Amino acid sequence: MGGVLEPHTGWTFLTNHARVLAAIADDHNARVRDIAAHCRLTERAVQKIIADLEQAGYLSHTRAGRSNTYRIEPGKVLRHPAESGLTVAALLALLVHDEDRRTRDPADRGATIGDG
């Protein structure tokens, strides 16, 4: 998931909760340290977000030795009234689609919204 990155300042389109959930969707065995580096957050912030997501029923984990394996509840509906009816699976599908596009061959990156 990458090395240590500078923290981001200013507003963004996605919340840190969405970023952490997407990082876990990418690797269900990811370490908190790796999630934090990928999301440009502190490990403590990631631990708090994971606890929030678990408490709300979006995420659970099983422990095997010193490792965690996370399970996302794909059918769980997002919390905000503006996303009424939108599931975690739908959100993650959008984020995974975006990640696929960003990592594609540079010659393919010229696509615009509506091309996909």
Q: Span 16-100: which CATH code? A: 1.10.10.10
pLDDT of res. 12? 82
Among the listed residues 85, 96, 75, 114, the one whose alpha carbon sits nearest the alpha carbon of residue 18: 96
Segments making up each domain of the chain, as ranges: 16-100
The CA distance from 26 to 4, in Å, is 18
Q: Kindly report the length of the chain.
A: 116
The CA distance from 59 to 10, in Å, is 27
Backbone angles phi, psi at 61, to 5 degrees: -145, 155
* Per-residue tens of pLDDT for the chain, all 116 residues: 444 456 667 788 889 999 999 999 999 999 999 999 999 999 999 999 999 999 999 999 999 898 999 999 999 999 888 888 899 999 999 887 655 555 555 444 444 444 44
